[in-house]
Amino acid sequence: MDGRDEGSSEMEAPIAVDLSRGSAAADLTGKVHQLPCCIKHDGPTPVSQYFKPKPTEMEVDGLKVEEAHFRGRKLHGTTVALPRGYSGFILGKKCHDQGNNGMNSQGWVTAATFEDITVWNHDAIPSKDDAFLRAFHWFTAANALHQTVTAEDLESACIDWELV
């Protein structure tokens, strides 16, 4: 995804994201791969015919290391389950015509979901310190940040105003 939003600058309709899993939504668990490269191509391609990850004997930080090849480079990766309460969504654009004032409202619908992701490195064995894996820390931080604050919490965190 990029920051561009074609069209919405011309209209003021909100952009809706529909996360309901319709019958058409595929389950791509086990099939989503984050590669350490940018492939300048958008569209279908026969991934399962060419990209063949294999398990290895290696285990690092409790992560089981897999290996694969892409364009001749050897990749090492690991599959991580998304934390409980979270899912991965692959969204597709949906454009509805609102009719009345000819206003189009753009939206996104769920094309597929996934419950794990395989993260790949080139020239480095995966570790829990990899940026992508550390991104999941956000969930813990977000939960802590957004939890309701109790009176006790306030008291124990209180600043002594007399000293300020």
Partner 1 sequence: MGSEAPPPLPEWASEPCIMGIDEAGRGPVLGPMVYGCLYCALSYQKTLSTLSFADSKTLKEEKREELFENLKADESIGWGVDIIDPRELSDKMLRKNKINLNEISHESAMGLIRKALNLGVLLTEVYLDTVGDTEKYRVKLSERFPNIKFVVAKKADSLYAVVSGASIVAKVTRDRALRNWMPDETAELNRNFGSGYPGDPQTKVWLEDHKHSVFGFPSLVRFSWGTCMSYSKDFVEVLWESDATDEEERGKSSKRQKKLTSVGFTTVKERSEDIESSGKGRCKFFQARKLELLSQF
Q: Which is nearer to partner 1, 40 or 155 (CB)?
A: 40
- Closer residue to partner 1 (CB): 127 or 151: 127
Q: Rounded to whole angstroms, how far apart are CA atoms 67 and 80?
A: 15
Q: List CB contacts of 147: < 8 A, sequence separation 6 or more.
A: none
**Cβ closer to partner 1: 41 or 84?**
41
Task: Supply the DSSP string of 138-153, one letter for each residue.
Answer: HHHHHHHHHSPPPHHH
Least Å distance between CB 114 and partner 1? 18
Comparing CA positions, the residue from 51, 122, 124, 132 lying closest to residue 88 is 132
The nearest distance, CB 163 to partner 1, in angstroms, is 27
The distance of closest approach from Cβ of residue 23 to partner 1 in the complex, given in angstroms and rounded to an integer, is 25
Residues 77 and 68: beta-carbon distance below 8 Å: yes
Q: What are phi and psi of 33, to 5 degrees?
A: -125, 130
**Considering beta carbons, is residue 72 or 102 the nearer one to partner 1?**
72
Both tokens of 124, joined, read 């480095």
**Residues at the site binding partner 1, with contacts judged by CB under 8 A:** 1-3, 5, 8, 15, 36-41, 45-46, 48-52, 69-74, 108, 122-123, 131-132, 134-135, 137-138, 141
CB 53 to partner 1: min, Å: 10
